[in-house]
């Protein structure tokens, strides 16, 4: 589409599907060569095959040693990423009083610690001009019923992003985050299916009623924010969270 990211190399975690895959595809369309990383090896390989020139990596983002090995392997092939999107995440929707401590820890381990591990390993290898773009959430800006674990992980990510932005700015590395609102993804579809099986109402009706644009967003509509933050168009932007929510916050 454009050469906005020509000559850049990107790594996107949680890229086998949903927003992660849309981000990888958008970065590639704008000129970057892209490595997709995910825990699901077969799905990641299939996702990478849909993006010209992309490569697939199997990665558990909670495993710091494995993350180092993946980045070492990319570097050995001349693929040291200068754009990194720590996007891998899981969702747990339940009242705070119903969440077991181990369940809570797991969400934080994947969503927050995993993002830290990825960003730390990448930042150690980046030179001036590097970009790290975290995937936070609307629930990283405000809490919500049934979102105690997920919101805690995403609020923590915003603090992590802002702190890393301050740490890395002297090295010429910009660190930002995108906070998607209600986006139609496989994760949401599974949630809807589960609720319908339980005889509960479709949650999308209530969600859409809150969105001034009158619909949920698509992963492709979110991905453009990552392209912007990864590009030279945002050279003086760091430590910021860009919300992409169809107007949810003002509705």
Q: Give the residue numbers annotated as catalytic, written as ranges.
A: 137, 150, 154
Nearest CA to 230 out of 114, 119, 82, 112 is that of 82
CB 122 within 8 A of CB 81: yes
For residues 121 and 71, the answer to whether their CB atoms sit within 8 Å is yes
CA 204 to chain centre: 22
* DSSP label at residue 58: E
Q: What's the CA gap between 121 and 57, in Å, rounded?
A: 15
* Cα–Cα distance, 85 to 11 (Å, whole number): 6
Contact 67, 121 (CB under 8 A): yes
Please state whether beta strands 241-244 and 9-13 pair in parallel, antiparallel, or not at all (unpaired): unpaired
């Amino acid at each position: 589409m454009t050469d906005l990211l020509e000559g850049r190399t990107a790594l996107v975690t949680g890229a086998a599907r949903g927003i992660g895959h849309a981000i990888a595809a958008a970065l590639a369309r704008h000129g970057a060569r892209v490595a997709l990383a995910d825990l699901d090896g077969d799905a990641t390989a299939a996702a990478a095959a849909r993006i010209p020139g992309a490569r697939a990596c199997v990665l558990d983002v909670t495993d710091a040693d494995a993350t180092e090995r993946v980045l070492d392997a990319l570097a050995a092939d001349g693929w040291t990423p200068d754009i990194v999107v720590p996007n891998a995440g899981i969702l747990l929707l339940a009242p705070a009083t119903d969440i077991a401590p181990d369940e809570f820890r797991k969400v934080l381990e994947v969503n927050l610690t995993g993002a830290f591990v990825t960003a730390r390993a990448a930042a150690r290898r980046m030179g001036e001009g590097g970009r790290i773009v975290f995937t936070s959430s609307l629930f990283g800006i405000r809490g919500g019923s049934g979102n105690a674990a997920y919101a805690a992980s995403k609020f923590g990510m915003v603090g992590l992003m802002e702190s890393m932005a301050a740490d890395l700015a002297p090295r010429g590395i910009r660190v930002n985050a995108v906070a998607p609102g209600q986006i139609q993804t496989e994760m949401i579809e599974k949630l809807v299916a589960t609720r319908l099986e339980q005889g509960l109402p479709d949650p999308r009706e209530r969600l859409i009623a809150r969105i001034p644009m009158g619909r949920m967003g698509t992963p492709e509509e979110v991905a453009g924010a990552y392209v912007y933050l990864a590009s030279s168009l945002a050279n003086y932007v760091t430590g910021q969270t860009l919300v992409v929510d169809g107007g949810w916050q003002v509705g």
